[in-house]
Amino acid sequence: MPKTPVRRQHIAQQLYAQAPTVAVTAAGLYEQYASEAGVWPPRPRQEYNVGQSIQHLCRPLADSVLMDSQSLLEGHLEHERHLSPGPSVERDAELRAQLGALKQVLSQRLPINDYILTASYLNSAITHLTVPVSARAVSPKPLVNPHWELAAKYLNLLLAGNRTDALTLIRQEAKRGTDVRDLYVNVFQETQRKVGNLWHEGAISVAQEHYCTAATELAMALVHPYLMNNRPTQRRLLATTLSGDLHSMPVRIVSDFLEGDGWDAYFLGASTPINSIWPAMIAQRADLLVVGASMGHHVVGIRELIQEKEKYPECARMKVMVGGAPFNEDPELWKAVGADAYAADARQAVEVARELFVKAHSSSKSRPNS
Mean pLDDT within 183-194: 96
Pair (107, 210) in one structural domain: no
- Look at residue 306 and tell me if it is in a domain: yes
Which amino acid, residue 90? E
194 burial via Cβ count (<10 Å: 0-12, 13-18, 19+) = middle
Pair (219, 241) in one structural domain: no
Residue 87 belongs to domain spanning: 5-135
pLDDT value, residue 231: 82
Give the residue ranges of DSSP H helices in 183-309: 190-200, 206-223, 249-260, 277-284, 299-308
- Look at residue 239 and tell me if it is in a domain: yes
Pair (115, 189) in one structural domain: no
Residues with Cβ within 8 Å of 250's Cβ and at least 6 positions away in sequence, in order, are 189, 292, 294, 323, 324, 346
The span from the CA of 314 to the CA of 105, in Å, is 47
The span from the CA of 369 to the CA of 349, in Å, is 32
Mean pLDDT within 123-132: 94
Rg (CA), the chain: 23
pLDDT value, residue 65: 96
Res 336 pLDDT > 90: yes
pLDDT tens-digit map of 306-328: 999 999 999 999 999 999 999 99
The tally of domains found in the chain comes to 3
Confidence of residue 2 (pLDDT cuts 50, 70, 90): very low
Q: Is 324 left (phi over 0), alpha (psi -120 to 50) or beta?
A: left
Pair (265, 346) in one structural domain: yes
pLDDT value, residue 360: 58
Looking up residue 54, the CATH number of its domain turns out to be 1.10.490.20
pLDDT tens-digit map of 39-67: 655 565 545 688 999 999 999 999 999 99
pLDDT value, residue 344: 95
Looking up residue 166, the CATH number of its domain turns out to be 1.10.1240.10
pTM: 0.85
pLDDT value, residue 280: 98
pLDDT tens-digit map of 226-276: 998 778 889 999 999 999 999 999 999 999 999 999 999 999 999 999 999
pLDDT tens-digit map of 296-307: 999 999 999 999
Q: How many helices, marked H, and strands, marked E, lie in the chain?
A: 16, 5
Residue 237 forms beta bridges with which residues?
A: 265, 288
Res 131 pLDDT > 80: yes
Pair (260, 180) in one structural domain: no
pLDDT value, residue 135: 56
